[in-house]
Structure 1
């Protein structure tokens, strides 16, 4: 893939001032790249196959340009670590271990300014990069700012689970839960109809509902 094709592929996916940098990351260490359909379980991934000499990175098509760029660099960091330590992967080199964190920080550093990210995203992103997590979804404050730029603006007016007070009731996928307590990046919730407990992401988009026991007047 040449530069023109790369720029055409990414021109509407990442901020304009990040286009050339994204191409340079591929040019330095090439990889197969695919923009995929939306996947609820992940934003992107790095795929290693022993039978392939060129490894593959995929990213969901429906991410806003700032989330797409962060995810792109996140996965390129995986590729760089694999290229450097492929004989040790799984033997002291963890998927999101210190080697990946260092690579991610190094690759993201040139992008951490207001010519690429708006200030409301840049501030929590800089904090996030101090000790990056396996997923930006685990960083409540960063995700809260990123979702402002989602293509589906309706999601921004809906609350996140992390925004609700303890013991609040909410609807998720047509099921009603009560928020019990926060456990790091997830929340222990109880389904009202069954009494069963579930761990749900802090960043889940939910619909707040009245306490089922409330009596309207």
Structure 2
């Protein structure tokens, strides 16, 4: 297991991750990319605890996702199954489990202040924290995608599912975008990755 983990998490985090997995009796599955999520946790009918994490994540995002999902398991065990999935109990558990990892031997110095801020009140996904998402993105392989906030007003862009949108105004934190085929308005996080369509 440690050899496998070494391919996906920072070197200095391997032993800590292995301990978390062992102590919590987690069945870890590393799976192909799912666009809608980085990972998930579920209790299987046979009572086993399964966590899946996408194989395509960079080492820092993989580590955050793994601990995020283990925090669900630990929080449910400690507080019961009636807590909110990303409520206060999960937030405290996630903060506690991440403490040993937030150090310069594991994360680059450029990420540490962003992580410290994020873990004051962790969100349901690292993607909903635009600053953290952008900071983590710099460790991804280069691709031809752009962020919504980089797309010029009125420009067309395509999502991973082929749907085409036209960018509109910013509303507080998110951008209004019109789906061309239906005329419906959708709100996009500024750090959503899209493909600009050149006209």
TM-score by length of 1: 0.82
2:92 maps to 1:102? yes
Q: Which moved more, 1:11-20 or 1:29-38?
A: 29-38
* Preserved CA contact (<8 Å) 2:151 2:167: no
Q: Deviations over 1:122-179 (max 9, x none)?
A: 22111111100000010111111111111x3125xx43113446x3424123524123
Q: Which has the larger radius of gyration?
A: 1
Q: Which runs of 5+ in 1 are unaligned?
A: 1-5, 213-217
* Preserved CA contact (<8 Å) 1:160 1:202: yes
C-alpha separation in 2, matches of 1:142 and 1:104: 16
Which residue of structure 2 aligns with residue 79 of structure 1?
73
Q: Which moved more, 1:40-49 or 1:60-69?
A: 40-49
Aligned length in residues: 196
Which residue of structure 1 aligns with residue 5 of structure 2?
10
Which residue of structure 2 aligns with residue 139 of structure 1?
129
Map 1:171-182 → 2, pairs under 5 A = 171-173=157-159, 175-182=164-171
Map 1:150-189 → 2, pairs under 5 A = 150=140, 152-155=141-144, 158-164=145-151, 167-173=153-159, 175-184=164-173, 186-189=174-177
Alpha-carbon RMSD: 2.0
C-alpha separation in 2, matches of 1:144 and 1:59: 20
Q: Which moved more, 1:171-180 or 1:29-38?
A: 171-180
Map 1:25-40 → 2, pairs under 5 A = 25-40=20-35
TM-score by length of 2: 0.89
* Preserved CA contact (<8 Å) 1:178 1:191: no
Q: Which runs of 5+ in 2 are unaligned?
A: none
